[in-house]
Amino acid sequence: MADTEMGINHEVEMPRSESKSFCQKFTQFMFNNLLLILMILSLILGCAVGFGVKLGSDRDFTSDEIKFISFPGTIFLNMLKVMIIPLVVTSLIAGMASLDRQASGKLGLRAVLYYFTTTFIAVILGIILVMSIRPGARGRSKDEIDTAGPVEEVNTADAFLDLLRMMFPPNIIEATFRTYKTRQVTQIVEPMTTMPMMMNSTDMMATDSMMNSTMMGPMTITVSQGGYEFKSNILGLVIFSCVFGAVLGRLGEKGEAFKAVVESIMECIMVMVGFIIWLSPVGVFFLVLGKILSMDDWALVFEQIGMYSATVILGLLIHGFIILPLLYLVFTRSNPFVFIKGVAPAMVTAFATASSSATLPITINSLETNNKIDKRVTRFVLPIGATINMDGTALYEAVAAIFIAQVNDFDLDAVDVIVISITATLASVGAAGVPQAGLVTLVIVLNAVGLPADDITLILVIDWFLDRVRTTVNVEGDSFGCGIIYHFTKQDFDRIDQEKALTNGYKDEKKVPFDQMDGNISGDDTRL
């Protein structure tokens, strides 16, 4: 009877034990992924509320109403932006100073090689898709598509010269809040109102030409005019910080004091970022809600350029969830989707803010906390990647350029396609990590093959959404790059750590007073 009772009790106790174990596992899962769950829920909730309000209300929201609705999201975005410059500068200086010449050279070479390789792959993928699907040939004609706003005219030569000017700013303090930009300015040249009283026979032909131009009235010309605008020059800060950090690391003991100050500032910034991250669900909700409420008729937009949008999104999904994970799997032999899960908070923030630079603090925190990437890699590779690595932007520019060519019945030969691929790769490097920066570099791609830059207005109505998707892919590409580069440089970091440990141990032993040493010193004692 006792055995029976014990058996019954045992059978009753087992489900309770299993139930308790399941509850513990579920609680642990929720605790470990609480931030990611809250951010995804806020993104879904923002979309649901936005579309619900749009469908349930016939009136359009004014710009002031949108501003008030988005205000909490704007504050969150400002909190992220204020961290960008101190984080980029201190992380690069500290990262370069902590590496020896061989390790820093390998790290930089691998980062640049990865960036240009994945960007070029993205461009080729975009060209293959747009040439196969032909969204411009299957869609509506150019006259049937609603255009949106004027497009700033861009000169290709001036754009690349501006890129070089940004790399080498004349004033590093000014680079924190201003950058140089050359614009195309239209000027009206007044005709000559007076004619010379005396002229000889050799001037008769020139005078007739002048009289004809005078009769035609004022002439309009376009000239290049450069100047500074209030926008941070992140590229210049990156170049300066890398060089400064490399020199600081070569100073040895003379640079240790300043290096400690920079590292302290960087750690303070990361602690502040940790606090800001927990506000991200609120910020994401209001940013997405405000953007959806301010958009035009969604159905009409997709009816007009749905095939173009589908082509871009398909290319970004293939690149982000097949090509990049496959590269990570091949090089590291690790599960890429576990890696994506760790960086998911940064990807959600990238979709909400449409800025890889603003997402940079969260990207660094996610990789270091969730994916356990060495901070010497994240704080060196990610600031550079957020500036020059734009896989999604390059793919988008290639698709958009060929789409515009198809809408205009412009036949592209092999040379034009090659020019588009090369120009889109290089132009994406110069694209700033801010919302809709790809539109400016897209003008460069269009000018390279002689396509009308004004036709960018055909895709502006949907660009706000595509910009968020491609920014998410940009951040994902930076993150996978960190994982791959860390895999190949881990041995170098282990060697550096061992050398530092031996050096510090030797210094500590030298500081031991002689009277405190052991009396029996063997011949192979390292303290001699």
Q: Enumerate the domain spans of the chain.
A: 35-48+59-189+216-497
Cα distances (angstroms) measured from residue 396 to each of 30, 392, 473: 36, 6, 11
Supply the pTM of this predicted model: 0.78
Mean local confidence (pLDDT), 138-165: 66
Q: Quick one: pLDDT band at residue 342, thresholds 50, 70, 90?
A: very high
Do the Cβ atoms of 424 and 451 come closer than 8 Å?
Answer: no
Superfamily (CATH) of domain 35-48+59-189+216-497 = Sodium:dicarboxylate symporter (1.10.3860.10)
Mean local confidence (pLDDT), 387-416: 85
User: Angle at Cα 395 formed by Cα 313 and Cα 119, nearest 5°?
Assistant: 130
Q: Mind giving me the DSSP string for 355-406? A: -HHHHHHHHHHHHHHTS---HHHHHHHHHHHHHH--HHHHHHHHHHHHHHHH
Q: Which of 40-49, 135-144, 318-327 has the highest mean pLDDT?
A: 318-327
Q: Quick one: pLDDT band at residue 338, thresholds 50, 70, 90?
A: very high
Of 85-94, 143-152, 399-408, least confident by mean pLDDT is: 143-152
Q: Quick one: pLDDT band at residue 139, thresholds 50, 70, 90?
A: low
Do the Cβ atoms of 390 and 119 come closer than 8 Å?
Answer: yes
Strand, coil or helix: 222: strand
Cα distances (angstroms) measured from residue 264 to each of 87, 258, 277, 379: 11, 10, 20, 14
Using only C-alpha atoms, the chain has a radius of gyration, in whole angstroms, of 30
Q: Is the pLDDT of residue 190 over 70?
A: no
Mean local confidence (pLDDT), 126-142: 79
Of 101-110, 253-262, 378-387, 479-488, least confident by mean pLDDT is: 101-110
Q: Express each pLDDT in 410-452 by its tens digit.
A: 888 888 888 888 888 777 765 654 455 566 677 778 887 888 7
What pLDDT score does 274 carry? 86
What pLDDT score does 504 carry? 63
Q: Is the pLDDT of residue 213 over 50?
A: no
Q: Is the pLDDT of residue 267 over 80?
A: yes
What pLDDT score does 207 carry? 47
Residue 297: count of CB within 10 angstroms of its CB: 12
Using a pLDDT cut of 90, give the percent of the chain over it: 23
Give burial (CB, 10 Å; 0-12/13-18/19+) of 369. Answer: middle
Q: Is the pLDDT of residue 340 over 90?
A: yes
